[in-house]
Structure 1
Amino acid sequence: MAEQKPTHTPPRNATTGLGLAIGAATIITAITGIAFWLSYHHLHDVAASNGLGNSPERAWAWPAVLDLFYLAGELLILRASYLRTVDWWAIGLTAIGALGSISLNVAGVGAHAPVLQYVVAAVPPVAALFAFGALMRQLHTWFARRPQTTQAPAVVTGGRAESTAAPVPPMPEQAPALPPAEEQRPERPAITYRDARCAAIRPLYANGTRPGTAAMREALIAAGHGRVGDSTIRGVIRAEVEEHEPHLAQLPPAIGRPA
């Protein structure tokens, strides 16, 4: 009788997780839009009462000097996530726009006002900062899990060398070095990772310890994946390795290596 091969079935909670993610993104987007509108309207009132009252067009345009800096910075941070890098200039733009918006919203209340008025003025820009940041974080996580691309060998066409980039499919896990024969353990089943970079991290568990951030970063660079942010190393790559093999998370940390 022929042996029936096991079939892979998606997790039962995959649909539920997607629905929750879409619902959360919808709510966060609504909060972001409302908060930006309240902040923008208050900054218009500040501009109108401080020199631009005779020019309604400029009073309405003035808040964009801050809020568009903030939005542009967040989008540049998102672009950096897509490219798997860190853009400190984008972070600076976001900080300037967000802090400027919060400060001027609060300052626009005036001196000697009740404390609650300052709180009411500060809530919209702070809410916009956190809501938009939460939305960008979800997209950052999605970008971090996408397959990487690699450069294909050059092909000579019509006397001209051309090369094309092709996506790298998830690589099967590389088996660690086996212990001496008397101590060999049963072979682990092959695992297909969503993120191909996990294959460079998994062998670090072979010595019976949980690798730290520095060791994982070195392994990723040696495998040709370039520099990766610490949060991505720990929260995405190592998290997926230990998701497939939960017992690895219980191993003691490697001595002298930060977790």
Structure 2
Amino acid sequence: MTTPAHVDALPTPVETPSTPVNVDRAITALASVLTVVLTAVAFWLSYEHLQEVAARHGMAEAVARSWAWPATVDLFIVIGELLILRASLAHRVDWWAIALVTAGDGASIALNVAGVGQDANALDYVVAAVPPVAALLAFGALMRQVHGYLTRRTMTGVAPASTGVEAPSTPVMGSVDAPLPAPPATPLAELAPVPSAGPEPLTAVAASTPVDKEVSPVAPASTAVDLCMPVVYANRVDQLVRALYGTDFTQPSTARMTMAMAGAGLGASESTARTARSRVRAREPYLADFPTALAG
């Protein structure tokens, strides 16, 4: 008996990324915190200046109204940015949200600049215009970071349960007691003499490490395993309904079946779902023993 050659496989070095994951997360967290701080400061400066403008133009006696009035301008920016974030997550463009942001930020910049007065220095106008512009850019950057975070969670999060129909497994046509297939024919010149005592039992030899110990043959008195033939459904709706029985081991309700059918592109007919469930129960009667708390 020839000893198989021993192959020594050298481990392949794995290159680590240049930037550690912890450093990348720390930078991202720091940028997020600074963006939130910048957004809050910019909105506060813009809001307080608009309150002073409102107090100087008719609301000096009504302090509560003078503080509430800037919200009628700055909140348009917040609402518009949130609607833009929602539209970007849905991979579409919301022009109405863009118009809200444009109107709110334009009005905020114009009112902050106009509130300085006519005879002010040019730098005063710049100082008045910086907070609303910074609020717009900082809040936009914040929404962009939120969008990136939600996108990464969607791509790397736990995959939802598939509503599609998986192809049935290949049926097992043989049994455990069936004899092993005959080995391929070998030329007479390559045949080794067989001892008269009988054939030697087969031994398992690893590809890289030789094994000297012989494996004991399987005793003929071993207990046979009865393999059940799987039930194969040709109808896609039947396949889908049968798969729902195995998700939580309860009988699926009509609403659950129609929801899964709609997700798989098979329509949402309740009668079709009930008919398919009846066919599945007829072919596999033991499914009727499942709990019926969710059945509908």
TM-score normalized by the length of structure 1: 0.56
Instruction: Considering Cα pairs closer than 8 Å and 6+ residues apart, tell me whether 1 or 2 has the greater RCO.
Output: 2
Match of 1:175 in 2: none
Match of 2:253 in 1: 158
Structure with max Cα Rg: 2
Deviation at 1:164, TM superposition (A): 5.2
Match of 1:20 in 2: 27
Pairing 1:105-144 to 2, within 5 Å after superposition: 105-144=112-151
Deviation at 1:142, TM superposition (A): 3.3
More strand by share: 1
Q: Cα 1:78–1:53, aligned 2, differ >3 Å: closer, same or farther?
A: same
* Alpha-carbon distance between aligned partners in 1 of 2:12 and 2:89, rounded to the nearest angstrom: 36
After the TM superposition, which of the residue ranges 123-132 and 133-142 deviates more from structure 2? 133-142
* Alpha-carbon distance between aligned partners in 2 of 1:152 and 1:9, rounded to the nearest angstrom: 38
The alignment covers a number of residue pairs equal to 165
Q: Secondary structure at the match of 1:163?
A: helix
2:102 is the counterpart of 1:95: yes
* Alpha-carbon distance between aligned partners in 2 of 1:36 and 1:54, rounded to the nearest angstrom: 24
Match of 2:53 in 1: 46
* Alpha-carbon distance between aligned partners in 2 of 1:159 and 1:143, rounded to the nearest angstrom: 33
AA at the equivalent of 1:24: A
* Alpha-carbon distance between aligned partners in 2 of 1:4 and 1:105, rounded to the nearest angstrom: 69
* Alpha-carbon distance between aligned partners in 1 of 2:91 and 2:161, rounded to the nearest angstrom: 14
Deviation at 1:54, TM superposition (A): 1.4
Q: Cα 1:104–1:3, aligned 2, differ >3 Å: closer, same or farther?
A: same
Q: Cα 1:12–1:86, aligned 2, differ >3 Å: closer, same or farther?
A: same
Unaligned 5+ runs, structure 2: 1-6, 165-239, 245-251, 262-296
Deviation at 1:8, TM superposition (A): 7.1
Deviations along 1:62-90, whole A, 9 cap, x unmatched?
A: 00001111111111111222222221111
Deviations along 1:121-178, whole A, 9 cap, x unmatched?
A: 111111111111112222223344432979723547234424359xxxxxxxxxxxxx
Q: Cα 1:11–1:164, aligned 2, differ >3 Å: closer, same or farther?
A: farther
Q: Cα 1:164–1:23, aligned 2, differ >3 Å: closer, same or farther?
A: farther
Identity level (%): 45
Q: Secondary structure at the match of 1:126?
A: helix
Pairing 1:158-237 to 2, within 5 Å after superposition: 158-160=253-255, 161-163=257-259
Q: Is the 8 A contact 1:47 1:59 kept in 2?
A: yes
Q: Is the 8 A contact 1:151 1:164 kept in 2?
A: no
